[in-house]
Amino acid sequence: MLNISDNDKEVLVNPDEYLAFHKIYKAEAGMKMIRYFMIVVLVGFFLLFMPWTQTVDGYGKITALYPNQKPQNINAIVGGRIIKWYVREGQKVKKGDTLVHLAEIKDAYWDPALLERTRQQLQAKEAALIAYQNKIKFYDDQLNMISQGLRLKLEQAENKVKQGLMKVSIDSADLKAIELDAQIALERLNRQEQLYKQGIVSLNDLETRRLKYRETQSKVIAQSNKLLQSRNELENAKIELDALRAQYNKDLFKAESEKQSAVSDKMQAEAEIAKLKNQLTNYELRQANYYILAPQDGFISELYKTGIGEIIKEGETLLTILPSNYQPAIEMFVNAYDIPLIVENASVRIMFDGWPAFVFSGWPNASFGTFGGKIFTYDQIVNKEGKFRVLVVPDSSEQPWPRILKVGSGALTWTMLNDVPIWWELWRIFNGFPPDFYDQSEQSLKDSKKKSKNKDKENNKEKK
């Protein structure tokens, strides 16, 4: 058309006045809805075959991994009265800093010169110990002298007994010789008498023989007396030897008894010295414990006793200190239903309270603001709430945890298990089945096989 008419370019017919136009438009809208529905169904169908990472949810809080890094209570080792506070809540302290000063409240320790007097008692006992040692040494010397005197006296007495034995032996031999002479004189006298009866010898010769016989008899008697005297002397020497031994044994026993008495006194003095040393050490440690010191670097979190002059008991808690250097870990709790799936070194995704994050539990790679962790260990028994405690530590291969995290902050955790299609996960949830167990050993074996195949392919390419 040449558009030379004055009519308006718009359509002169009003579609709202005709029913046919309405039916045409409704048919086109229905086709659009069908197309949209088919697209949604196809997209949903393809989504069912997308991979989905199974997880075990848990909630916990940040804690310290090792016992010496956890918040600890500072207790009063000795009872006393608070004299002065050196810290306040929230203050940072170093190891060895004085926290609070206590004063003694027991009357047994009120003496200001208690340590000095105890040292004086200890010195007196040590001097007594030295005296007992010298006394024991004196008794040892005395015993040696007695032993030496006894040895000399015994040798002398034994020599005297030997001399007596030799004298008795000589006298006995002389007596036998004299008796033999007397026997010979008797035989000669008898022969002389027979000769005298026969008239061969004279009476004078007979008398001479008789006189000779009487002389030998008198010698026998004299030698017998001499032998008896020698035997008596020998017995006296033996008796003197026994008496000497008895006397010296008596002296030895007496000296040994006095020595043992001195040894007993020495041992008692040593026991008292040990007791005084123990007592002195206890006094020194007790006075040292009047000043309560910080066991390690940290922050004062809470004071349970305040003010000046308050009385505290032995072992009572004064304050709590949080170590400044600690290895962070998450203390999470999982249901007994999921604990068989928890293994050490399993991967965990973490979302900390107060830290912005966008989480897809089934697609950890698509999540934002989460941090990685590894399961360090888990308890073997259930707690009072029917859950198991699991400790999670940072994963060194991923982004480190925020430094501003504090002990006690909350955290949501997802323990990574197996990769399955979405339809499988929906089917599992619908039937109430547990997640598949993730065997890391098998997975690592598969990964190593894949790596070895890739290396073989690369080597073959290089050879070609």
Question: What residue ranges do the domains of the chain occupy?
Answer: 53-67+326-463, 71-104+290-322, 114-288
**Residue whose entry in the numeric block shows the structure tokens 């000095």:** 116
Task: Give the Å distances, CA to CA, from 281 to 112, 173, 256, 431, 461.
Answer: 16, 83, 37, 71, 80
What does the pLDDT look like over 379-438, one tens digit per residue? 888 888 888 888 888 888 888 888 877 888 888 777 766 666 666 666 666 666 566 644
Confidence of residue 444 (pLDDT cuts 50, 70, 90): very low
pLDDT of 274 > 80? The answer is: yes
In contact, 57 and 331? CB cutoff 8 Å: no
Confidence of residue 21 (pLDDT cuts 50, 70, 90): low
More confident residue, 85 or 111: 85
**Residue whose entry in the numeric block shows the structure tokens 């000669």:** 188
Confidence of residue 441 (pLDDT cuts 50, 70, 90): very low
More confident residue, 284 or 154: 284
User: Which amino acid is it at 398?
Assistant: E
Are both 53-67+326-463 and 114-288 of the same fold?
no
What does the pLDDT look like over 303-321, one tens digit per residue? 888 888 888 888 888 899 9
Q: Mean of the pLDDT values across residues 261-268?
A: 83
Give the bridge partners for 414, in sequence order: 57, 349
What is the CATH number assigned to the segment(s) 71-104+290-322? 2.40.50.100
More confident residue, 216 or 358: 216
Cα separation of 439 and 437, whole Å?
6
pLDDT of 270 > 70? The answer is: yes
What does the pLDDT look like over 28-76, one tens digit per residue? 556 667 777 787 777 777 766 666 666 677 788 888 888 888 888 888 8
What does the pLDDT look like over 387-396, one tens digit per residue? 888 888 888 8
CATH fold label, 114-288: Helix Hairpins (1.10.287)
Residue 5: the pLDDT is 52
For the domain made up of 53-67+326-463, the CATH class stated in words is mainly beta
In contact, 139 and 262? CB cutoff 8 Å: yes
Q: Mean of the pLDDT values across residues 254-272?
A: 82
pTM, full prediction: 0.54
Residue 440: the pLDDT is 44
Residue environment code for 211-226, b if the CB has 16+ CB neighbours within 10 A, otherwise e: ebbeebeebbeebeeb
Residue 427: the pLDDT is 67
Percentage above 70 pLDDT, the chain: 75
Task: Give the Å distances, CA to CA, from 362 to 57, 87, 91, 365, 422.
Answer: 11, 49, 44, 9, 9
Confidence of residue 443 (pLDDT cuts 50, 70, 90): very low
Residue 1: the pLDDT is 45
